[in-house]
Structure 1
């Protein structure tokens, strides 16, 4: 583990290569899994507030799901997540463009309708955060559907933390990211 401020970073995050390759995986991480995307408590009110501006970008199944269960749910472990269409199906915020999974929230952001990009867990994937009272632990979540991203990362020689520079800065700040890079350089 690498300690950067009050964050412990698993060495897999800085030693493994990864670059999303949506042309290969088609965004399967938004379609599969045992629950929706993890949400922080502070993101719940944001989702409620932005939903009217995100709704025009959503598909009918996603809208019906949100109208039925709300902008977030509590999963089987008691954690907040985005709702899923049916059980273990796509996130309610999923849209499809040219056969590739996209996010209606991110689409509304890109078009300037909202100022919030998407849940931080989505932005940081394949990093997953485990929160403890005094610190966070960043782990690299290996999932077979991401094997094209590992191959692409190997080809481009881009580490997980480098690929996720912007979301890491969004979460922890520019200074924190610079400290991470310094720590990696000293490994």
Structure 2
């Protein structure tokens, strides 16, 4: 366990290797789960602000679910989450021509229509954060079967989880935090 600021980071975040392989998983993390994507409370206002801009990217099914259930909903176990279509794909997801699930928020971001990329929980996946009273737990939690191709690709390319998720970690915790994580890796694993 690595202690950085107010977090306890599991060793797997620096020891395991991971690189998403969308050609194999087809963005399955956007439809494989108990609920939609967990949301930070600050993200609720952002979703309300960008919804009309993002709406043209959504599927008819996604729009219907959002209009019936709301732009986000409260789950007793996970807190605020995005709605899901029939307990499957996130209502903000759509499939591209290859069948890969893409995020409407992220596509609008890449099209320079909004400045918010996507929910931080999605950006950080397969890192999952469990908020505690004194420390947040930062764990590496890939989906067992779904993420196998990403674990294999990460090993082949020799990319630690934290390096693959550099942008997301910096977005969540800042440059100094990432620097501390990298210094730990370099000290204990960099010469291997």
Do the two structures share a fold, i.e. TM-score over 0.5?
yes
Query: For residue 172 of structure 2, what is the aligned residue in structure 1?
Result: 171
Is 1:97 the counterpart of 2:96? The answer is yes
CA distance in structure 2 between the aligned counterparts of 1:153 and 1:71, rounded to whole angstroms: 34
CA distance in structure 2 between the aligned counterparts of 1:35 and 1:26, rounded to whole angstroms: 18
Q: Give the aligned CA root-mean-square deviation in angstroms.
A: 1.1
| Segment of structure 1 superposing worse, 105-114 or 132-141 | 132-141
CA distance in structure 1 between the aligned counterparts of 2:184 and 2:96, rounded to whole angstroms: 39
CA distance in structure 1 between the aligned counterparts of 2:77 and 2:7, rounded to whole angstroms: 24
What are the within-5 Å matches in structure 2 for residues 3-82 of structure 1? 3-77=3-77, 79-82=79-82
Q: Which runs of 5+ in 1 are unaligned?
A: none
CA distance in structure 2 between the aligned counterparts of 1:81 and 1:121, rounded to whole angstroms: 10
CA distance in structure 1 between the aligned counterparts of 2:3 and 2:78, rounded to whole angstroms: 28
The number of equivalent residue pairs is 186
Change (3 A) 1:78 1:141: closer
Query: For residue 129 of structure 1, what is the aligned residue in structure 2?
Result: 129
Q: Residues 76-126 of structure 1: CA distance to partner in whole angstroms, max 9, x if unpaired?
A: 426111100112x10000111121110001011111111100000000000
Is 1:86 the counterpart of 2:63? The answer is no
Q: What TM-score does the superposition give when structure 1 sets the normalisation length?
A: 0.96
Q: Residues 120-147 of structure 1: CA distance to partner in whole angstroms, max 9, x if unpaired?
A: 0000000000112332211011312110
Secondary structure of 1:63's aligned partner: helix
Q: What TM-score does the superposition give when structure 2 sets the normalisation length?
A: 0.94
CA distance in structure 2 between the aligned counterparts of 1:148 and 1:78, rounded to whole angstroms: 27
Secondary structure of 1:86's aligned partner: helix
Q: CA deviation at 1:74?
A: 1.3
Q: Residues 50-76 of structure 1: CA distance to partner in whole angstroms, max 9, x if unpaired?
A: 110100111111111111111101124
Query: For residue 150 of structure 1, what is the aligned residue in structure 2?
Result: 151
Q: Which runs of 5+ in 2 are unaligned?
A: none
